Amino acid sequence: MAQRQFGPKRLQNDAMPPKRILKPVHGVLLLDKPEGLTSNDALQKARRLFSAARAGHTGTLDPMATGLLPLCFGEATKFSADLLEADKTYEATLCLGRTTETGDREGRVIATAPVRCDRAAITAALPGFLGTIAQVPPMYSALKHNGRPLYQLARQGQEVERPPRPVTIHALQFLDWQAPELTLRIRCGKGTYIRVLAEDIGKALGCGAHLTRLRRTEVGNLGLAEAHTLSELEALDEACRLALLAAVDCLISTLPVVCLDEAGARRFCHGNPVPSPSALRKGKARVYARTDAQPRLLGVGIVKADQQLWPERLVALD
């Protein structure tokens, strides 16, 4: 029997791509997320571009939504939860006269109605949604019922009771009305579902509505004007990308500042309290070490009942 002939053995290094070397990158990327990507997809693409060893985002945007998605690298991930509590601003376009099963354009149309309202009627209806209002979370959401995400139940045709939740709408600005599409600017507190707000506005106008476009323009005091797209980042070399990162403390820039001398900084970094400044009698503060150059961020402290400033989260920046 003839021997089988094999080609030369391929070296393992030729068959496998070189292993990516991850680096200790620290900072915040203000990303302009494109439509069609989940927040985690966008995070992983950005993380690869920076070869960052550690990364996280500050709250999700639906795949249909675009706009500001702050991404945290390295030590900045310690403060990502702070932006979950921050107010958000959106520009939203509603299509009146059609209701969908998901509350947005990606769902099946389940009801239609004639649109008889005009600009004056819309303007008169909007103030009713300002302040603290009750929202029923949508079935197509990641909230869980008995350990299962609601969207899984919804896809199986199940609907479960969802108790209303209080949310806060700080501002609701009329931007445009080109029937049947209405565009609004919305500034809201945490936990607000813009899809549900669109549906509720449609109900108040007597015709129903669903969300067709959503763009987030602000998260806390961070704005879309300083954001960058994935395409822009891909066109840059590594040094230029790194230069676009905002400092770690941009996520906590609304907190008051405390600067410590060398002895105080050493004590704070070892997990011990320091005297609280007279102007800071409660709450949290950004804590820095006073240096000859720019103050060095140590972390976040919180004033406790003993009126001492205790370390809450410390950072270790290179």
Position 85 pLDDT exceeds 70: yes
Note the pLDDT tens digit of each residue in 113-137.
Answer: 999 999 999 999 999 999 999 998 8
What pLDDT was estimated at residue 172?
Answer: 97
What pLDDT was estimated at residue 239?
Answer: 92
**What are the residue ranges spanned by the domains of the chain?**
22-86+222-249, 88-219, 255-314
What pLDDT was estimated at residue 162?
Answer: 79
What single letter denotes the amino acid at residue 77? T
Residue 245 CB-density burial (10 A; 0-12 exposed, 13-18 middle, 19+ buried): buried
* Top-level class of domain 88-219: alpha beta
Q: Which of 62, 82, 104, 200 is catalytic?
A: 62
What is the bridge-based pairing of β-strands 296-303 and 308-314?
Answer: antiparallel
Residues 214 and 183 sit within 8 Å (Cβ to Cβ): no
The residues that bridge with 284 in the sheet, in sequence order, are: 302
Q: What is the CATH number of domain 255-314?
A: 2.30.130.10
Between 66-75, 145-154, 267-276, the lowest mean confidence (pLDDT) is in: 145-154
* 176 vs 184: CA distance, rounded Å: 7
Residues 312 and 291 sit within 8 Å (Cβ to Cβ): no
What pLDDT was estimated at residue 305?
Answer: 87
Query: In percent, how much of the chain has pLDDT > 90?
Result: 70
Query: In percent, how much of the chain has pLDDT > 70?
Result: 90
Calculate mean pLDDT across residues 245-261: 92
Q: Do domains 22-86+222-249 and 88-219 have the same CATH topology?
A: yes
What pLDDT was estimated at residue 3?
Answer: 43
Return the top range by mean pLDDT from 22-26, 88-92, 161-165. 88-92
Residue 246 CB-density burial (10 A; 0-12 exposed, 13-18 middle, 19+ buried): middle
Residue 87 a catalytic site member: no
Whether a cis peptide bond, with omega within 30° of 0, leads into 114 is no
Note the pLDDT tens digit of each residue in 192-228.
Answer: 999 999 999 999 999 999 999 999 999 999 999 999 9
With CA atoms as reference, report the closest residue to 192 among 133, 122, 143, 144: 133
* Top-level class of domain 22-86+222-249: alpha beta
Q: Which pair of tokens denotes residue 278?
A: 């007279």
Calculate mean pLDDT across residues 223-250: 95
For all residues of the chain together, what is the average pLDDT? 89
Position 13 pLDDT exceeds 60: no
End-to-end CA gap in the chain: 66
How many residues appear in the chain? 318
With CA atoms as reference, report the closest residue to 300 among 249, 246, 266: 249
> What angle is formed at CA 117 by the lines to CA 111 and CA 119, rounded to 5 degrees?
130
Position 6 pLDDT exceeds 60: no
